[in-house]
């Protein structure tokens, strides 16, 4: 009878667990089996050592007796070095886009790459055109120190200048005050003259009255 080393499914819904068994190829997938060789748990990560467990001695014994492993089991055994890795056939290309869409995508990629290259060239050209006569780092602090010294000298000169000078805002105010005083004096002068004339007239009138009375 043809004996196969294959997977037998167990576990729950959406949580599969497989046993690697030696069974008759005419039996059902999850039916009776002759011997169990290992286990396979796809729910575990690929790096986990508990994902695939195989008894190497049993598998060698059954393969020597003529048992043939299935495609999936041959992959497991090839990782252990017991069997050569099988040639994986090319998958169908139905999931890929059609030729026209592929050509459009390729053209779009080419245009994007060309634009990126042009931008990079422009950036490099701008960098090359930038002025190269920049002052070195050693000269910069010396220039800053000289500038600071000049600023200090200017501030010292400003502080030493005479502080008794009248501000520009006060000068016109004093001029206006002096002008007002002169105008008031000139206005008061005719009033005094008027008073003198009035007094003189009053005295003359008094003298005339005294003469008449005599």
- Predicted pLDDT at 57: 92
Query: pLDDT at position 107, please?
Result: 93
Lowest mean pLDDT among 58-67, 85-94, 135-144, 152-161: 135-144
Residue 191 lies in a domain: no
**Selected residue with higher pLDDT from 85 and 132:** 85
Residue 23 clears pLDDT 80, i.e. is over it: yes
Residue 149: pLDDT band (50, 70, 90) is confident
39 falls within a domain: yes
C-alpha 92/C-alpha 175 separation (Å) is 106
Among 43, 46, 35, CA closest to 18: 43
pTM: 0.42
With bands split at pLDDT 50, 70 and 90, how would you rate the model's confidence at 82? confident
Rounded Cα–Cα distance for residues 5 and 75 (Å):
12
> For residues 62 and 56, what is the distance between their CA atoms, to the nearest angstrom?
10
Region 124-139: mean pLDDT is 62
- Rounded to whole angstroms, the Cα distance separating 74 from 77 reads 5
Judged against a pLDDT cut of 60, whether residue 162 lies above it is answered with no
CA nearest 68: which of 23, 8, 9, 32?
23
Let me know if residue 9 belongs to a domain.
Answer: yes
For position 180, what pLDDT does the model report? 62
Structural domain includes residue 149: no
Q: Give 214 or 146, the one with higher predicted confidence.
A: 146
Edge-to-edge strand list for the sheet holding 15-24: 52-54, 35-40, 15-24, 3-12, 68-69
Write down the pLDDT at residue 37: 93
Examine residue 98 and state whether it is found in any structural domain, yes or no.
no
Give how far Cα 69 sits from Cα of 6, 83, 84, 202, Å.
Answer: 6, 10, 12, 158
pLDDT at 169 over 50: no
Domain membership flag for residue 171: no
77-85, Cβ contacts within 8 angstroms, sequence gap of 24 or more: 79/52, 80/54, 80/56, 82/56
- Three-state secondary-structure class, residue 177: helix
The CA distance from 198 to 29, in Å, is 150
| CATH for 16 | 3.30.1320.10
| pLDDT more than 70, % of the chain | 63
* Total count of domains within the chain: 1
What are the tens digits of pLDDT across the range 35-55? 999 999 999 998 999 999 999
- 23 versus 161: which is more confidently predicted? 23
For 25, the domain range is 3-80
138 part of a folded domain: no
Average the pLDDT over 174-178 and give the result. 59
pLDDT at residue 177 above 70? no
Q: Is residue 147 in a domain?
A: no
């Amino acid at each position: 009878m043809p004996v196969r080393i294959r997977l037998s499914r167990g576990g729950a819904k959406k949580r599969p667990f497989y046993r690697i068994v030696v069974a008759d190829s005419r039996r059902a997938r999850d039916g009776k089996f002759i011997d169990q060789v290992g286990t396979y748990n796809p729910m575990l990560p690929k790096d986990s050592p508990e994902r695939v467990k195989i008894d190497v001695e049993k598998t060698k014994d059954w393969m020597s007796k003529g048992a043939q492993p299935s495609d999936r089991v041959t992959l497991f055994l090839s990782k252990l070095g017991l069997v050569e890795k099988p040639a994986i056939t090319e998958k169908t290309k139905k999931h890929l886009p059609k030729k026209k869409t592929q050509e459009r995508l390729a053209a779009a990629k080419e245009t994007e790459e060309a634009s990126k290259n042009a931008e990079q060239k422009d950036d490099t050209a701008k960098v090359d055109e930038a002025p190269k006569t920049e002052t070195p780092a050693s000269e910069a602090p010396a220039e800053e120190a000289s500038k600071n010294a000049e600023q200090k000298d200017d501030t010292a000169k400003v502080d030493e200048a005479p502080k008794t000078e009248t501000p520009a805002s006060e000068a016109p105010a004093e001029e206006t005050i002096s002008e007002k005083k002169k105008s008031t004096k000139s206005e008061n002068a005719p009033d005094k003259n008027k008073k003198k004339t009035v007094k003189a007239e009053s005295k003359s009138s008094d003298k005339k009255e005294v003469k008449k009375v005599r």
